[in-house]
Amino acid sequence: MSAVESPRKIEVFPVIGLEVHAQLLTRSKIFCGCPVTVGAPPNSATCPVCLGFPGTLPVLNREAVTLALRLALAAGATLHRESQFARKNYFYPDLPKGYQISQYDRPFSTGGSIAIDTPEGEKAIRLVRIHLEEDAGKLLHDTPYDDVPENVSLVDWNRAGVPLVEIVGEPDLRSAEEAASYLTELRRLVRYTGVCDGDMEKGSLRCDANVSVRTSPTAPLGTRVEIKNVNSIRFVAKAIEHEIERQAQSLARGEAIVQETRLWDEKGGRTVSMRSKEEAHDYRYFPEPDLGLLVLDEKWIAEARGALPELPRRRRERLATAHGLAPQDADTLVSARELADYYERVVAAGVPGRLAANWVTGEALRWMKERRVSTEQALSFSVSPERLAGLLKLVESGEISAASGKDVLVAMLDSSTEAAAIVAEKGLGRMRDTGALEAAVAEIVAGNPSQVALFKSGKTQTFGWFVGQVMKKTGGRADPAAVREALTRALESAGP
């Protein structure tokens, strides 16, 4: 539990709860057959249903429910056999029907939790509920079109009817850092489960934060302020940080906190008031009469459960214990499902865990970043897990040095040649030709009479210098043991 010091020396204890909207990765919208699109021309992915034409009716997309179920199961939530859609009524030009179809007092899922890491250890952030709803369209105030006057706003309804889940968290978070951890964990979970792409900048994951402060960790909850639509995890943390400070200063001045909705102003680095409680909408929720109850049967739940992958925290635990990885490496690997998959495929191809982890978290992540290759693409990239494994086996057996391995990897990025072939072609492999080794040794011994003399006079530490010279001569490819053996023999038989 962290306390924040305000300039006026009032110690406050923040209480934070997040409401997260995640856009589901379905092919079509939640209540009609229109495709879910990214970057399509405005209003090209619309139909009478998602435009709210009079006479149209919603028909629930089964795939949206299946994805929502998967997320709820991943969060350990309680699924309700019967749930109900409700209408949330308000006027806005991006809302075609004048109401949003959502779930209200009977959501399909309640409870569950998201575990986060804190300095004090793991902490479970409880969920109030997860529910399904439809997205609204988008308003364009600064239109990009020359023939549209400046004071005109345009509406793009491509997003109207895109399926969302809203994940409502309990006010269990106690700092901006915890809020950021929670969001990071939640984003990883939606990505792992394939429920949402988790892209906050594009708005497929959106976060509203409820923030209140109190003067003692056991005092009743303070008046909460809602901060809306912040589009990155970093900004969410900054906005919360700022809001805590603002509230602390208000309290220090003896002012009451006003229940209101505030917007994060990134340029100003502050939150600004959007509307007060008095101006809040009365949404007049009531059960959606156009849709029957949403009834979940065993089969449907089993189908969703069957599609659940190993969840990130469990996977991290397994990699740390069964593979003996450092906690930091395990954490990096599970940051994206495909990265961990990549790693596990390298291991499956016969590379020891730690070696694989070193290379995947180091070299592989580096080229993925440099070449803008997503973790997903990496699985089928020129350096596939299996090809990397081929290289790492050479390093592990001592066939090539780690340094050579890195050069080979660079060469592999732009070719389809196997690691072993590149090693052979570049002559990087271990020297197996004893004749060549003997020749190199003989050459070094013959070419350095003064060093030989020093050695013969008893300065045996010069032996190391000879080894170095031979290794240099052979390009590091010679087996150090064989070098020692050959050198010992050559020096003994060398002239006085």
Partner 1 sequence: MSAVPGVIETAAAVSSGRRTAVAEVEAALARIAEGDGRFGAFLEVTGDLALEEARAVDARVAAGERLPLAGVAVAMKDNMWVAGRRTTCASRILEGFQPPGDSTVAARLRRAGAVFVGRANMDEFAMGSSTENSASHVTRNPWDVSRVPGGSSGGSAAAVAAGFVAGAFGSDTGGSIRQPAACCGVVGFKPTYGRVSRYGLVAFASSLDQIGPLTRSVGDAARLYRVVAGFDPLDSTTVDRETGDPEGALGRGVAGMRIGFLEEAEGEGLDPEVAANLEAARRIFRDAGAEVTRVSVPRTTVAIAIYYVVASAEASSNLARFDGVRYGPRASDADLRALYVESRTRGFGPEVKRRILLGTFALASGYYEAYYGRAMRVRHLLSDDFDRAFARTDAIVCPSIPAPAFRVGEKTDDPLTMYLSDVFTVPASLAGLPAISVPSGLTASGLPLGIQVLGPRFGEETVFAAARALEAAADFPDAIPAVAG
Interacting residues toward partner 1 by CB under 8 A:
48, 51-60, 87, 89, 91, 93, 96-99, 155, 282-286, 289-292
Between 42 and 352, whose beta carbon lies closer to partner 1?
42
- Rounded distance between C-alpha atoms, residue 154 and residue 160, angstroms: 14
Please say which residue, 51 or 482, places its beta carbon nearer to partner 1. Answer: 51
As measured in angstroms, the least distance from the Cβ of 288 to partner 1 is: 8
Q: How far is the CB of 317 from partner 1 (least distance, A)?
A: 43
The pair of structure tokens assigned to 241 is: 């940080």
Q: Which is nearer to partner 1, 55 or 306 (CB)?
A: 55
Tokens 């009743």 map to which residue? Answer: 220
CA distances from 179 to 126, 169, 174, 240, 370 (A): 13, 10, 8, 8, 30
Q: Which is nearer to partner 1, 59 or 124 (CB)?
A: 59
Query: Residue 99 or 343: which CB sits closer to partner 1?
Result: 99
Looking at the Cβ atoms of 89 and 184, the one nearer to partner 1 is 89
Give the Cα separation of 476 and 401 in Å (integer).
8
**Which of the 8 DSSP states describes residue 361?**
I
Q: What is the DSSP string of 162-211?
A: -EEEEEEEPS-B-SHHHHHHHHHHHHHHHHHTTS----TTTTSEEEEEEE
Q: How far is the CB of 251 from partner 1 (least distance, A)?
A: 29
At closest approach, how far in Å is the CB of 230 from partner 1?
25
| Complex with partner 1: residue 155 or 436, whichever CB lies closer | 155
Give the number of other CB atoms < 10 A from CB of residue 166.
18
137 token code pair: 């369209």
Q: Give me the DSSP letters along 443-464.
A: HHHHH-HHHHHHHHTT-TTHHH
Which CB sits closer to partner 1, 155 or 442? 155
- CA-closest candidate to residue 445, choices 491, 407, 401, 377: 491
* Minimal distance, residue 372 CB to partner 1, in Å: 41
Whole-angstrom Cα distance, residue 49 to residue 161?
9
Rounded to a whole number of angstroms, the CA Rg of the chain reads 31
Q: How far apart are the C-alpha atoms of 431 and 477, rounded to whole Å?
A: 5
Minimum CB distance to partner 1, residue 48 (Å): 5
Q: Which two tokens stand for residue 29?
A: 């919208």
Q: Is the CB of 95 or the CB of 213 nearer to partner 1?
A: 95
**Torsional class of 161: left (φ above 0), alpha (ψ -120 to 50), beta (otherwise):** left
Q: For residue 69, which phi and psi values (nearest 5 degrees)?
A: -60, -40
Residue 91 beta carbon to partner 1: minimum distance, rounded to whole angstroms: 6
487 contacts 462 by C-beta, under 8 angstroms: no
At position 409, the amino acid (one-letter code) is L
Choose between 156 and 363: whose C-beta lies nearer to partner 1.
156
Minimum Å gap between C-beta 43 and partner 1 is 10
Q: How far apart are CA 218 and CA 240, in angstroms?
A: 21
The 10 Å Cβ neighbour count of residue 382 is 15
The CB-of-110 to partner 1 minimum distance in angstroms stands at 21
CB of 384 to partner 1, least distance (A): 44
